[in-house]
Amino acid sequence: MATLAVTASAPLDTRQRGERARRMLLWAYAGLFYCFLYLPILLLVVLSFNDSQTIGLPFQGVTLRWYEEVLGSPEMLRSILNSVVLGVVSAAVATLLALLLALGFRQEFPLKGLLMKIILLPILIPGIVGGVIYLVFFGFGEVQFGVWTTALPVHITWVLPFAFLTLFPRIHGLDRSLEEAAADLGARPLTVFRRVVFPIIKPGVVATAMFAFTLSFDEFIRTLFVIGNQRTVPVHLWTLLSDQMAPFLPAVGVVITVISMLVSFVGFAASARAGRAH
Amino acid sequence: MTIFDEGRGREMDRRSFMSGTLAGAAALGGLGPFAGAVAQSTEMTALMVNAMLGPTLKPIVEEEAKVTIKEGAFLSGTDTVSRLTAPGGARYDLMNSSFAFSHPVVMGPKAGAERVQPIDVSLIPNMKYINEPSKEGIGERDGKVYMIPHSWGFDSILYNRDVVPDNDPYTQSWSLLFEDKYAGKIGWWDVAHQMLMAAGLYLGHAEPEKMDRNQLGEVAKFLISKKKNVRTFYTTFAQGSNLLASGEIAVGYGIVPMRVELKKRGFNITGAWPKEGVLSLISASYIPKDSKNVSAAHAVINAMLGERYAKALSDGCGYLSASKFAQENLTDAYKKEYGYGIFDGSVKHYQLKFPTNMNMWIETWSRVKSA
């Protein structure tokens, strides 16, 4: 009897041990994965408080002076403001255009495939080539360089294909019968969009806008060619890197990360609210 | 003629329309960004090495010239001359870049092909104080002046004195940047022009900017053979300075503002004076044809040659003023430290001239990097 119990529990123990080992491996893999993703960000935060003239370890004491330098610089604050406003406006415009395009692309029309490729073209053009093209284009048009006159159209053009690619699958997969049902019940097209379609796609629209904002906020090379005497954060950072040691860079990184996180938080909150309402 | 005039008329109309629209937008909305796009008489735009208008220097120029300067983001001399030749004009009231590098593009191949406007020297009274060696940086043709020098910079090898003793014979030559003694502690500046010039000088080329394909091939072969000694390549001031300051590298190619800032921050790092010569450049100012505030551009050129700016320049960013004012009351130790020997011949230098075939240089450097 005892022999039987031993032989029955042996494969069970092996299975349990195997399961435990598998779990441990999974935990180790996940742990390493998250360390790889988030340790550099954590290190950036630590370095931003490091009282050292160089960017790096060892940690030589806590200081807030790098934040004082960053937040006390009018140029830096102006460039942050420019980037945020540019990001918000270009994200809003690009998302709206992407939404209209995605709705339009549900229909069949001549040269649809070609038009799709044209919309996606800015993704395929290398940044520096794009920058030169914009420089030449606005040069011939004699458009004054600046945040609103040239950088905004450039950012919208850059962000639009990504916004379209994010939004199109969502709208393409929308059940048309819902719209047909609403129309059968007498709703006009605008009402159908406002009361039926938009509430369904709203989380996707919010996510697209957030993504577009991030892309615009990070854009450097195209902006550099068309921004003139104004600065966005990446352009300002480049000039700092070009002519000083800039030990305050980790603090700049943290400030930018916080801004991006705040925007994401607002986006997630809006998306969640839209989801609940739906 | 008629067609030309009509074209010009259309051009003017479009310009008027654009500026009118922007001014209207600014007036109606009080929008800051739009307001910035409209030129004001005391406001001028400039594109030059940002350090030249650093925190201690810009206020001097603005006070002396009675203008407000809006600077563009300076990327490189190549970028500056590219913008000068871009369709639609340079869009800056004043530009500044290395004389030897920019001269062929700025002046054009022949009279009438200049891409900038003549400078009215009667508005630059401080021009008479330009020191003798710097007069080489005056861009002149048919009695008209197009480029005016205002400072000198130079590149050399920066080294950590805790690792490399000053009396090490390697510090007397560009060999420090290449040879095996400090293998694994060397950093190279990732720029074709400077690195190939330095290697060319070290290998004995009298005029490295004129190297042909075979000679460049030899230089590439040498650099590839020495690449094993290189710890890393860097592209920016901040990157190079941090590598030196943190001790990750002990030897690196460096521009003079890097040396000054590292010293100011208390690092035991200095620059070598290679016997083949430091790589020097004269920064020269020029006024693009489409400058909208020509009088302000003249005032800024004059202020940058003035006594206050000249005396503050070396402490501000390490460059040497082209004005005679700069050396007044300086100690010998200070002059030696900052490289004023360039002016009296005690420091050998070689100007970073524009290569005969830049494309070939870029191709060669790419070969070195990818080897």
CATH code of the domain containing A90: 1.10.3720.10
Amino acid at B52: M
A236-265 residues touching B, CB cutoff 8 A:
236, 238-247, 249
| Neighbouring C-alpha atoms within 13 Å toward the C-beta of A185 | 9
For the four alpha carbons of B204, B209, B210 and B216, in that order, the dihedral sign comes to positive
Neighboring chain A residues of B33 at a CB cutoff of 8 Å? 82, 146-148, 230
pLDDT category at A9 given cuts 50, 70, 90 is low
What average pLDDT is seen over chain A?
Answer: 88
Same domain, B97 and B157: no
Same domain, B331 and B360: no
Query: In this structure, is residue B232 part of a structural domain?
Result: yes
What are the structure tokens assigned to B282, written together? 């004269």
CB contact under 8 A, A240 and B14: no
Comparing alpha-carbon positions, the chain A residue that sits nearest to B76 is: A242
Answer yes or no: is pLDDT of A93 > 50: yes
B257-276 residues touching A, CB cutoff 8 A:
257, 261-262, 265-267
Query: In this structure, is residue B254 part of a structural domain?
Result: yes
Q: How far is A267 from chain B (nearest CA, A)?
A: 26
B10 touches chain A (CB under 8 A): no
B33 touches chain A (CB under 8 A): yes
Prior bond to B169 cis, omega within 30? no
Same domain, B107 and B123: yes
Comparing alpha-carbon positions, the chain B residue that sits nearest to A241 is: B238
A140 touches chain B (CB under 8 A): yes
Which residue in this structure is represented by tokens 């415009």?
Answer: A93
Neighboring chain A residues of B18 at a CB cutoff of 8 Å? 142-144
**Predicted confidence (pLDDT) per residue in A172-223, tens digit:** 888 889 989 999 999 999 999 999 999 889 888 988 999 999 999 989 999 9
Average pLDDT on A265-277 reads 73
- What does residue B156 show for φ and ψ, rounded to 5 degrees? -150, -160
Query: In this structure, is residue A10 part of a structural domain?
Result: no
| pLDDT value of residue B186 | 97
* Secondary structure class of B245 (helix, strand, coil): helix
| Closest in B34, B49, B72 to A228, CB measured | B72
| A-B contacts at Cβ under 8 angstroms | 108
Does residue B233 contact residue B223 with C-beta atoms inside 8 Å? no
CATH code of the domain containing B78: 3.40.190.10
What are the structure tokens assigned to B299, written together? 């005032």
CB contact under 8 A, A240 and B238: yes
CA distance B172 to B176: 8
Domains held by chain A: number: 1
Query: In this structure, is residue A211 part of a structural domain?
Result: yes
| pLDDT value of residue A166 | 92
The better pLDDT of the pair B240, A8 is held by B240
For the four alpha carbons of B149, B155, B160 and B165, in that order, the dihedral sign comes to negative
CB contact under 8 A, B241 and A245: yes
According to DSSP, residue A51 is labeled: -
CB contact under 8 A, A148 and B87: no
Same domain, B145 and B222: no
Answer yes or no: is pLDDT of A16 > 90: no
Q: How far is A78 from chain B (nearest CA, A)?
A: 11
A201 touches chain B (CB under 8 A): no
| pLDDT value of residue A8 | 55
Neighboring chain A residues of B31 at a CB cutoff of 8 Å? 148
A88 touches chain B (CB under 8 A): no
Query: In this structure, is residue A32 part of a structural domain?
Result: no
Same domain, B121 and B269: no
Answer yes or no: is pLDDT of A77 > 60: yes
B15 touches chain A (CB under 8 A): yes
CB contact under 8 A, B266 and A227: no
| pLDDT value of residue B337 | 86
Residue-wise burial string across B129-159, b where 16 or more C-beta atoms lie within 10 A, e elsewhere: bbbebbeebbbebeeebbbbbbbbbbbbbbb
pLDDT category at A58 given cuts 50, 70, 90 is confident
Same domain, B326 and B188: no
Query: In this structure, is residue B293 part of a structural domain?
Result: yes
CA distance A103 to A97: 10
Q: Which domain holds residue A173?
A: 74-277
Neighboring chain B residues of A142 at a CB cutoff of 8 Å? 11, 14-15, 18, 88
Does residue B322 contact residue B300 with C-beta atoms inside 8 Å? no
CB contact under 8 A, A229 and B75: no
Same domain, B172 and B266: yes
Answer yes or no: is pLDDT of A162 > 90: yes
Same domain, B263 and B160: yes
B50 touches chain A (CB under 8 A): yes
CB contact under 8 A, B236 and A242: yes
| Closest in A146, A235, A249 to B37, CB measured | A146
Query: In this structure, is residue A235 part of a structural domain?
Result: yes
A107 touches chain B (CB under 8 A): no
Neighboring chain B residues of A236 at a CB cutoff of 8 Å? 73
A221 touches chain B (CB under 8 A): no
Neighboring chain A residues of B288 at a CB cutoff of 8 Å? none
Distance between first and last Cα of chain B: 57
Same domain, B290 and B219: no
| Closest in B22, B36, B91 to A230, CB measured | B36
Same domain, B285 and B273: no
Neighboring chain A residues of B14 at a CB cutoff of 8 Å? 142
| pLDDT value of residue A3 | 53
The rounded average pLDDT for each run of 10 residues, N- to C-terminus, in chain B (371 residues) is 34 41 39 40 88 92 95 86 84 93 91 94 96 95 95 95 93 94 95 94 95 95 96 92 93 92 91 95 95 95 96 92 90 89 92 88 95 89
Average pLDDT on A43-65 reads 90
| pLDDT value of residue B198 | 96
Same domain, B195 and B80: no
Domains held by chain B: number: 2
Average pLDDT on A104-123 reads 90
CB atoms inside a 10 Å sphere around CB B354:
19
Amino acid at A46: V
CB contact under 8 A, A244 and B261: yes
| Neighbouring C-alpha atoms within 13 Å toward the C-beta of B241 | 27
Q: Which domain holds residue B49?
A: 40-152+281-345
Same domain, B138 and B236: no
